[in-house]
Structure 1
Amino acid sequence: MKNNLFYRTFKNFFRTKSNKDNSSKGKANEKDRLKPSIEDNLSYIKSALGNSADLSYRIIQIGPDNDINICVVFTEGLVDISSLQDLIDSLINKLNPNDLQPTGKEKNLVSALRQKAITVGNAEEVVDFDTLITNILSGHAALIVENHPYAITVSIPGHERRSVEEPQSATLIKGPRDGFTETLETNTALLRRRIRSANFWYESKEIGRVTKTKVMIAYIKGIVNEEVLQEVHKRLDAIDIDAILETGYIEELIQDETFSPFPTIFSTERPDAVAGKLIEGRVAILVDGSPFVMVVLSLMVEFFQASEDYYQRADIATLLRCLRFFCFFIALLAPSLYIAVLTYHQEMLPTQLLISLAAQREGVPFPAFLEALMMEVAFEILREAGVRMPRAVGQAMSIVGALVLGQAAVQAGIVSPAMVIVVSITAIANFCFPAINLATSVRIIRFAMMSLSAVFGLIGIMFGIILLCIHLCTLRSFGIPYTTPAAPFILQDQKDVFFRVPMWAMFSRPRLISQKNTIREQSSPTPKPTSQKGSSEV
């Protein structure tokens, strides 16, 4: 995996980190401990944050004689104000003076406050500035006590967050309407609502030297492939970057193949889709600030599967899935076949159709390949413009632009009507895939297939398909063949590939994904109607 000479050369060429940076990294990681003085600690925090305008603090006095000073430090906009007021009120008005006397295992006043006085949030005792500042910038309120080199951080996040809405990139007719948001806590709760097992575990990591982005790893203990889980931890721990702003950062850093148009990591906005894959034994990676959740390992066939396939009857789901595979070949090969047949293999067309196409192309000044290339580029421009334009006019602009452009091009004699039909069908078929990243891959490969067909005809198309199959068979997703269960062929896993069998027949998990606890149903009886006595007499 990633051990070829070309990859190492490319990686070393773009690596900008020097040995000097590595030597200074150890000094930067040295943690400075808190001081007993509030003034010293507050001065250090202000200096570290550059006297940031959103940093706020308040000094309060508690104790029997108001002789204990506590400085409350927080970041405006990141904490819940009502919870902060409750915290300060409990310290000033509701705290029993006897609770401030350390007893038993409470080694200092800070421990006494954490165990007896703080009634909101999750309290954590902190001894170094690095952890303290990170918590303050993560929605915690810090309590710094005079004459104690310790502090307490209380988690009371209250920043603005988007409500749970229907995903925009994966809409369904039948199924749940909730989707992930940019808030990590909301996303973990959406998964926990669907998987209430005690074996459903979360593990937390912090990635990014500047952003310190929180990343969660979700899996079901006892079902997950332990080797894949260890590989996920290994790849995430190897990431050394200044910022992680979205799942795409991590996806590009941990994927198996960099130079491949096909996605080897599945990402979605749907909690139900992630929950279904976790039950199969996969690992989910959630990134704070992103509504997309990554799932590893991923197989090519999964990009043709929609969540709706499992919410309706098996025969309907099978029909729709076969339609998606058919649309895949249309989106990939339709322009190439048109170019090859019209340029090199006219004898394959019926006479009437050949005469009609020849009449349409009589005034067209460009060869079929250049004609198709211009139309494909024009549609790509319209597609991108429709996405980037304001939502109110984007859809209308893309539709009107396509109609006007196609009609004008035909009337001007630049392209033939048949070419407009072929390119339009190709563009429509490209939207039939549930995963948008697969549609992007098809769009890239389509131009390569068009070039091969323009030079070699149908032989070039067959050569391109062979190269494509070889490339797919060499891909791996966290060590598992990308084309599983087709290559290698696994008979028992064919129940959910090109067709979907009824739920009562899907009693086992994929063999290469989950290697233990592979049985989903202890028994899978075929449903049969019960006979009623005397029904024939009625």
Structure 2
Amino acid sequence: MQTPKDGSKETFFTEREKWTGKTVREKITQLQSIFSDTKDAKLHTVEINHSVLSFFYLSPMASEEKIHDEFIPKLFQAGEKNLQSMLEAADTANTGDLKKILPEIMSGKTAVFLNNEKQVYLLSFRNKVKRSAGEPSSERIIRGSHDGFIEDLESNLSIMRYRIQNPDMAVETFDIGKKNKVKAALAYLKTSYDPNLLKEIKRRISYVDAEIVLTPGYLEEYIEDDPWSLFPQMLNTERPDRVASNLVDGRIALFMDGSPTVLIMPTTFFAFYQSTDDYNSRWISSTFVRLLRLASFVIAINLPAFYIATVAFHLEIIPQELIVQMKNSVEGIPYPPILEAMLMELTIELIREAGIRLPTPISQTIGIVGGLVIGDAVVQAGLISNLMIVVVAVTAVSSYVVPSSEMSTTVRLLRFPLMILASIFGFIGMIFGIIFILTKLCKLESFGRPYFAPAAPFNLQGLTDTFIRLPVWMKKEKGSFLKKKKRAGRGWDKNEQ
């Protein structure tokens, strides 16, 4: 990664970049002073014939069993002559630079000092706690593989290597963060990626001026094109098969150590309405489901606003057969339709949030109570009309159809301004709101590529895998929107590439 042009340093401890002492004893004392406030810094010294080895590590991160029970006995068996060769043959990296040693110790490596050598050996005896690679709970599918990423970067890259057994898959690793460095990696296929896209992604990441970047969500806000847009401009997933298919299409994936979420760049609006199941099922049924998802977007953001505008301003469009039922439903309600809708929509959001935070058995109970008891109670109390309950229920179901949780949140937020416009101006306000949303989608970009492609700019070839899902043998390898070279951004776009 290139160095930021603002002159900021990328050191772990800026005030402790160099060794203050020359001997091994002085260097160890300096390390102990740096970690003086923590009790998990361990020093273990052994003498093999005339050679003295000092092991310095953090006990929760490094495996003491591997050091004491496995590696040190092997050193005794090797003898003094083969001691250095044993250290060099292990999974090590030797360096005499303190600013490079400190991050490695913090990440779990063990610093080994041999006699009075200037170099320090860094041994990988990490004590990692890994969970099994189970299927992501937020991206379940019916057919296909049921594995997912975990919180370990090396394991995730290994999963991708198993998925894409191709030497053209390239991986570039780097660190993010000034004080708490987190390892990250960019993965792409050399046969299908755009070099200008990779250059732009690396340029934006190089200007991230943050002391700590814990998750991809932190990084996403730094490098996305428009931070004020409700629409997510990077696709995040925990599914290896989804990442693999996007790499084949020419996109670039970003992995971060400590998170199972992978960012895929660039992306389009329609990618959020596509699922892995679309390619595991027959193309006709997949096309029907995909069109159903896209229709759910229209229903989720427009149905409450349409109901409010109809009841408040445009009763004449209601068929004669429904006027009596609608009149009986809304008659006696003390609030205008906008307050009805707001009350019920906010109640739905509260129930959803409670269901996420509570344990699974209790969350199911909350859903039943919220859906049946509260809904029936507010109707019986005369606070909400029956028709409003139906509208809110259909809207809620439609907003949860989208496979992406981030886009689902965007859809739920978009309906509120449309409801307000519909309550003030009727259909005219609603139409202006829709035009504004479409204009924003057409102007939005993801790393300089059109976000609303292939609808805007229109590309007939790209529609073969957007609104419909034609057979895979008719699909092109790379979307045309990846060929765009236009650059967009904010702080980092003021500097020359």
Range into which the TM-score falls when normalised by the shorter chain? over 0.9
How far the C-alpha of 1:130 sits from its partner, in A, is 1.8
Instruction: Give the one of 35, 49, 68 matched to 1:49.
Output: 35
Q: Aligned pair in 2 of structure 1 residues 269, 196: CA closer, same or farther (>3 Å)?
A: same
For 1:445 and 1:294, how far apart are their aligned partners in 2?
A: 24
Q: Report deviation, 1:294.
A: 0.2
Deviation at 1:399, TM superposition (A): 2.5
Question: What is residue 69 of structure 1 aligned with on the other side?
Answer: 52
Which one scores higher on RCO, CA 8 angstroms, separation ≥ 6?
2
Larger Rg: 1
* Alignment of structure 1 residues 335-346 onto 2, 5 Å: 335-346=304-315
| Contact 2:9–2:178 (8 Å) recurs in 1 | no
Say which SS state the counterpart of residue 223 (structure 1) adopts: coil
Q: Alpha carbons of 1:211 and 1:117: their partners in 2 closer, same or farther (altered >3 Å)?
A: closer
Distance 2:175 2:78 in 1: 35
Q: Which amino acid is the alignment partner of residue 47 of structure 1?
A: S
Matching residue of 1:472:
441
Q: Call closer, same or farther: CA 1:429–1:27 in 2, change over 3 Å.
A: closer
Is residue 2:11 matched to residue 1:28? no
Q: Which residue of 2 aligns with 1:404?
A: 373
Task: Quote the Cα distance in structure 2 between the aligned partners of 1:162 and 1:211.
Answer: 23
What TM-score, normalized to structure 2? 0.92
2:174 aligned to which of 201, 205, 208: 205
2:34 corresponds to which letter in structure 1? A
Q: CA deviation at 1:498?
A: 0.2
Cα distance 1:30–1:80, how it changes in 2: closer, same or farther (>3 A)?
closer
Does the CA contact (< 8 Å) of 1:299 and 1:482 recur in 2? yes
- Aligned partner of 1:171 in structure 2 is 140
Aligned-pair CA distance for 1:83: 3.0
Residue 60 of structure 1 corresponds to which residue in structure 2? 46
Residue type at the aligned position of 2:31: I
Residues 209, 50 of structure 1: alpha-carbon distance in 2 compared, 3 angstrom cutoff: farther
Consecutive aligned runs of 4 or more in structure 1 exceeding 4 Å deviation: 21-27, 117-120
Residues 11, 17 of structure 2: 8 Å contact kept: no
Q: 2:73 pairs with 75, 89, 95, which one?
A: 89
Partners of 1:59 and 1:36 lie apart in 2 by: 18
Instruction: Write out aligned runs for 1:284-295 (5 A).
Output: 284-295=253-264
Q: What is the match of residue 432 of structure 1?
A: 401
* Pairing of 1:456-535 with structure 2 (within 5 A): 456-513=425-482
Unaligned runs of 5+ in 1: 1-18, 101-112, 516-538
CA distance in 1, matches of 2:470, 2:8: 55
Alignment partner, residue 114 of structure 2: 145
Find the residue that maps to 2:253 and give its secondary structure: strand
**What's the counterpart of residue 227 of structure 2?**
258
Deviation at 1:217, TM superposition (A): 0.8
Structure 2 CA distance for aligned equivalents of residues 413 and 302 of structure 1: 43
Structure 1 residues 399-408 or 505-514, which shifts more? Answer: 505-514
The answer to whether the 8 Å contact 2:464/2:470 transfers is: yes
State the shift of 1:33 in Å: 3.7
CA contact (8 A) 2:422 2:430 kept: yes
1:79 maps onto 2:48 in alignment: no
- Structure 2 residue matching 1:98: 3-state secondary structure: coil
With over 3 angstroms needed to count, the CA separation of the structure-2 counterparts of 1:295 and 1:26, relative to structure 1, is closer
Partner residue in 1 for 2:492: none
2:11–2:99 contact (8 Å) kept in structure 1: no
Kindly provide the CA deviation profile for residues 480-511 of structure 1, in whole angstroms up to 9, marking residues without a partner as x.
01011111111222110000110111143212
Match of 1:37 among 8, 15, 23: 23
Q: Which residue of 2 aligns with 1:350?
A: 319
Closer/same/farther in 2, CA of residues 26 and 75 from structure 1, 3 Å limit = closer
Structure 2: runs of 5+ lacking an equivalent? 1-5, 485-497
The residue type paired with residue 55 of structure 1 is A
Indicate conservation of the 8 Å contact 2:248/2:477, yes or no. no
Residues 179, 22 of structure 1: alpha-carbon distance in 2 compared, 3 angstrom cutoff: closer
Q: Which moved more, 1:134-143 or 1:49-58?
A: 49-58
Moved more, 477-486 or 29-38: 29-38
* Aligned residues with identical type, % of pairs: 33
Q: Deviations over 1:228-286 (max 9, x none)?
A: 10011101111121111111000000000011100001101111101110111111111
Partner of 2:333: 364
Following superposition, the deviation at residue 392 of structure 1 comes to 2.6
RMSD: 2.1
Label 1:219 to 1:26 Cα distance change in 2 as closer, same or farther (>3 A).
Answer: closer
Partner of 1:393: 362
Asked if the contact 2:10/2:178 (under 8 Å) is kept, the reply is no
* Distance change >3 Å, CA 27–CA 317, structure 1 → 2: closer
CA displacement 1:403-430 (0-9 Å, x = unmatched)? 2111110000000011001001110111
**1:518 — aligned with what?**
none
Q: TM-score, normalised by structure 1?
A: 0.86
